[in-house]
Amino acid sequence: MKLQKIILTGLLCAALTGCNRDSGVTEMKPSRAAQSGCQWVEGGDSALGVKFLIEDCGGKRPAVTRKANVIEIGPSGARIEVYGKHFAQPAVAAIKEQFLSRLSPKERTLCIVKARPEGVTIPQAMQAFAIVPGPDYEAEAKARRDADPNAEVCGDHGQGPVQGFFLGEQGTSGGRLAYVRAGSGNTGFDPMSVRFETDKAMAGRLETLAPENLATAELLAFTLEADLKRYKESRGQFTEGETETSFVLFSKDGAPAVLVGQFKVVDTTDGALRAYFRDGRLFLIRESLLATPDAAARRQTVTWKRLAFDGGGKLIDARKVVDGAAAELLSGEAEASVKAVEAMLKRATNR
């Protein structure tokens, strides 16, 4: 029986995907039968390391195009958005930071990230999530959708007129998170078939991505950090005024690649940052701050900042989250983060 299963699996792989074992893509099984006169074939985007099944109907297939981190499939609104994250960050935490934080105060409180959402069937090794109304919001959300079938509940990555869900694979593809939107009508695309190539297989290709926005900058950052052993490492610490700083610089051929720093301002602020460089030029800063506003405060403020820069050092995209809620960057914040990186880098390279 086991031998028969192996043979059948091999035949299915050969027919649909070729089972590229180097890329780690397996189990691309269609969730429904193809239309009459059509067959399922492999589609995908090699730059982002995503594969999926589309219908070939006598040589006609949905067009697959990519702009930055978004893969569009046909004209019906079907798409796959690929986002970078730190490989150690759980998918749920990334979804909360990048999407739940952008909701209105009401929906941020009443919407939740649900694992294994209804209607999503994927291999056990993968993870599926959806932003949905919580128990105290379900009745009101249903009433809104009943009144307006096009209503979007829990944001544009929550519940809408077409199916959408998040996809993760923490074990082998922890540096990426995808949002899959099914599209409306007959799309010729099977959203349940979406798979990641492994991070290991993608490392070289992701390095060629241009930081066009925050998502692509984070994808590029992941591949730089995927194997820090390939870089020369130097460590140090210094004190300036009331700020104590320690750092680790990873460099190659004399140019910085990844800078990891921690700093503490007396008893008010604990911070951590990671800065990423391409050809010696800064393109992404990830900064986390834990601050105590004053001695009488009973709670601390948690701030996350993500800043993406173009080749000329201009800020092109940013995300700031304060205590779980999206916030605007204040005047001078980006410049202050860059100066903090420059100060650490100067100390690291002048040792």
CA distances from residue 340 to 218, 273, 281, 337 in whole angstroms, order as listed:
20, 9, 15, 5
More confident residue, 127 or 28: 127
Sorting pLDDT into bands at 50, 70 and 90, what band is 3? very low
CATH topology of domain 22-205: Protein Transport Mog1p; Chain A (3.40.1000)
**Mean pLDDT in residue range 220-233:** 91
Summarize pLDDT for 235-274 with one digit per residue, the tens: 999 998 888 999 999 999 999 999 999 999 887 889 999 9
Alpha-carbon distance of 9 to 17, in angstroms, equals 11
Return the pLDDT at 14: 36
Lowest-confidence segment of 15-29, 160-174, 306-320 by average pLDDT = 15-29
- Of the candidates 165, 166, 167, the one whose C-alpha atom is nearest the C-alpha of residue 195 is 167
Rounded mean pLDDT, 213-222: 94
Given a cut of 70, is residue 10 above it in pLDDT?
no
Q: Which pLDDT does position 332 carry in this prediction?
A: 95
d(CA 76, CA 195): 21
- Of the two residues 190 and 15, the one the predictor is more confident about is 190
Whether the pLDDT of residue 1 is over 50: the answer is no
Burial 47-64 (b: 16+ CB within 10 A, else e): bbbbbbbbbbeeeebbeb
Model confidence, pTM: 0.87
- The residue behind tokens 């979406």 is 194
Q: Which carries the bigger pLDDT value, residue 207 or residue 336?
A: 336
- As a whole-number percent, the residues of the chain with pLDDT over 70 amount to 91
Q: Which strands form 50-56's sheet, in the order they lie side by side?
A: 39-45, 50-56, 189-196
Q: Is 58 left (phi over 0), alpha (psi -120 to 50) or beta?
A: left
Cβ(324)–Cβ(108) under 8 Å? yes
**Exposure of 337 by Cβ count < 10 A (0-12 exposed, 13-18 middle, 19+ buried)?**
buried
DSSP conformation class of 11 = H
For 23-76, write each residue's pLDDT tens digit: 556 578 899 999 999 999 999 999 999 999 999 999 999 999 999 999 999 999
Q: Per the structure block, which two tokens stand in for 16?
A: 């649909």
Q: Which band of pLDDT confidence, cut at 50, 70 and 90, is reported for residue 92?
A: very high
pLDDT recorded at residue 26? 59
Q: In whole angstroms, give the CA distance from residue 249 to residue 236.
A: 9
Joined together, the tokens standing for residue 230 give 């390939």
**Whether the Cβ atoms of residue 194 and residue 50 lie closer than 8 Å to each other:** yes
Contact call for residues 54 and 63 (beta carbons, < 8 A): no
Q: What is the mean pLDDT of the chain?
A: 89
Q: Is the pLDDT of residue 96 over 60?
A: yes
Q: How confident is the model at residue 8 (pLDDT cuts 50, 70, 90)?
A: very low
Between CA 345 and CA 351 the distance in angstroms is 10
What letter represents residue 17's amino acid? Answer: T
Q: List, in sequence order, every beta strand (DSSP E) within 267-341.
A: 269-278, 281-291, 301-309, 315-322, 325-326
Lowest mean per-residue pLDDT among 17-26, 189-198, 210-219, 316-325: 17-26
Q: How confident is the model at residue 22 (pLDDT cuts 50, 70, 90)?
A: very low
